[in-house]
């Protein structure tokens, strides 16, 4: 077990194994996203109340799922980095943060666009949207903290601690925002909590969610790989690798 964890922690090992995994996740992501979008946008029936505008759900919900999942994976990576001093975990956490922030933004933006036909306004202090907005601030905090340190080692540790503190707070924030919302605006019409969605509507949604996750994994693998090369640029194995590739192209 220990040997395995530390083997996993070696950037070189991760670099080799991720090269094999990466194409599969890219393929899955493209396939699922194409099928899901076509099905969801063209073939799924329109909503009896919202009409075609409900189709934003196929972007909004997966993005919102991912926004939260990425924060959790970031915190878990931070924990792994702090406890076992595995640098790859920190590199992954570093590349996840901007992606998570982008997903949060997509969820917020699609929510706002969706708000126009449903509420007649771009923004409502809806419980979900408010939690999303706070999540975006948490992401920005982690990114800003990482950028503020001159020493990368300290930056990694600080960002890890903040991600862990944040992840403990996310459920508390969610719970309190829900409480606040029900207190101030007795449940009117929320975007996504629809009773009994028919199968032909939610099945494409599941496919889209899976597609988004595959995309996230593929992109994280790819970006972690380039982060490895960047940080290990003066290591022997990277220099050998580059030399080999240069000779190949000659």
Partner 1 sequence: MSLCLQARQLACERDDRWLFQGLDLDIRSGEIVRIEGPNGSGKTSLLKILSGQLSDYQGELFWNGAAMNDAREHFLANLLYLGHAPGIKSGLSPLENLAWYQALSGESNEESSGANGHEEQRLDALERVGLAGFEDVPAGQLSAGQQRRVALARLTLTPRALWVLDEPFTAIDRHGVADLERQLVAHAQSGGCVLVTTHHELTASPLLRRIALG
Partner 2 sequence: MIAVKATLVRDLTLLLRRRGEVLNPLVFFALVITLFPIAISPDPELLAVIAPGLLWVAALLAALLSLDSLFRSDYDDGSLEQLLLAPQPLAALSLAKVAVHWLLTGLPLALMAPVLGIMLALPAGSYAILALSLALGTASLSLIGAIGAALTVGLARGGVLLSLLVLPLYIPVLIFGAGAVQAAILGDGVAAHLAILGALLAASLMLAPWAIAASLRISING
Q: Does 12 bind partner 1 (CB under 8 A)?
A: no
Please report, as residue ranges, which positions from 210 to 249 form the binding site for partner 1 (by CB under 8 A): 231, 234
Q: Does 172 bind partner 2 (CB under 8 A)?
A: yes
Beta carbon of residue 94, minimum distance to partner 2 (angstroms, whole number): 16
d(CA 113, CA 72): 27
Residue 229 binds which entry of partner 1, partner 2, none, CB below 5-8 Å type-dependent:
none
Strand partners, 47: 51
The first and second tokens of residue 111, run together, are 């929510």
Residue 185 binds which entry of partner 1, partner 2, none, CB below 5-8 Å type-dependent:
none
Q: What is the DSSP letter of 45?
A: P
Residue number, 58 or 139, with CB nearest to partner 2: 139
Please report, as residue ranges, which positions from 175 to 234 form the binding site for partner 2 (by CB under 8 A): 175-177, 179-180, 183
Residue 120 falls in which region: left (phi positive, over 0), alpha (psi -120 to 50) or beta: left
Which listed range, 3-11, 157-165, 207-215, 236-244, lies at the site for partner 2 (CB under 8 A)?
157-165
Phi, psi of 47 (to 5 degrees): -75, 140
Q: Token match 């640029």: residue? A: 233
Interface pick for partner 2 out of 134, 203, 222, 229 (rule CB under 8 A): 134
Interface pick for partner 1 out of 20, 42, 43, 151 (rule CB under 8 A): 151
Nearest to 152 by CA among 80, 213, 81, 206: 81
Residue 152 binds which entry of partner 2, partner 1, none, CB below 5-8 Å type-dependent:
partner 1
Residue 138 binds which entry of partner 1, partner 2, none, CB below 5-8 Å type-dependent:
partner 2
Interface pick for partner 1 out of 6, 7, 152, 243 (rule CB under 8 A): 152
Beta carbon of residue 139, minimum distance to partner 1 (angstroms, whole number): 25
Q: Does 194 bind partner 1 (CB under 8 A)?
A: no
Strand partners, 187: none
The first and second tokens of residue 60, run together, are 């909004």
Decide if 13 contacts 7 (C-beta within 8 A): yes
Interface pick for partner 2 out of 140, 206, 233, 242 (rule CB under 8 A): 140
d(CA 199, CA 186): 29
CB atoms within 10 A of CB 52: 11
Q: Token match 């699609």: residue? A: 110
Residue 165 binds which entry of partner 2, partner 1, none, CB below 5-8 Å type-dependent:
partner 2
Strand partners, 51: 47
Q: Which residues bind partner 1 (CB under 8 A)?
A: 151-153, 231, 234
């Amino acid at each position: 077990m220990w040997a395995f964890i530390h083997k996993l922690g070696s950037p070189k090992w991760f670099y080799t194994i991720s090269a094999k995994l990466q194409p599969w996740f890219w393929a899955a992501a493209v396939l699922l996203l194409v099928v899901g979008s076509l099905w969801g946008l063209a073939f799924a029936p329109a909503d009896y109340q919202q009409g075609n505008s409900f189709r934003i759900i196929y972007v909004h919900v997966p993005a919102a799922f991912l926004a939260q999942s990425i924060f959790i994976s970031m915190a878990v990576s931070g924990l792994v980095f702090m406890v076992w001093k595995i640098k790859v975990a920190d590199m992954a956490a570093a590349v996840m943060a901007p992606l998570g922030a982008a997903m949060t933004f997509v969820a917020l933006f699609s929510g706002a666009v969706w708000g126009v036909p449903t509420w007649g306004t771009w923004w409502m202090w809806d419980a979900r949207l408010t939690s999303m907005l706070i999540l975006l601030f948490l992401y920005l905090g982690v990114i800003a903290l990482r950028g503020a340190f001159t020493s990368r080692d300290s930056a990694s540790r600080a960002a890890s601690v903040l991600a862990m503190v944040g992840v403990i707070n996310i459920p508390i924030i969610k719970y309190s925002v829900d409480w606040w919302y029900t207190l101030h605006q007795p449940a009117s019409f929320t975007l996504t909590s629809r009773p009994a969605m028919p199968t032909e509507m939610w099945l494409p949604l599941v496919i889209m969610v899976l597609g988004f996750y595959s995309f996230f994994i593929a992109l994280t693998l790819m970006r972690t790989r380039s982060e490895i090369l960047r940080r290990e640029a003066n290591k022997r194995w990277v220099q050998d690798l580059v030399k080999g590739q240069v000779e190949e192209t000659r």
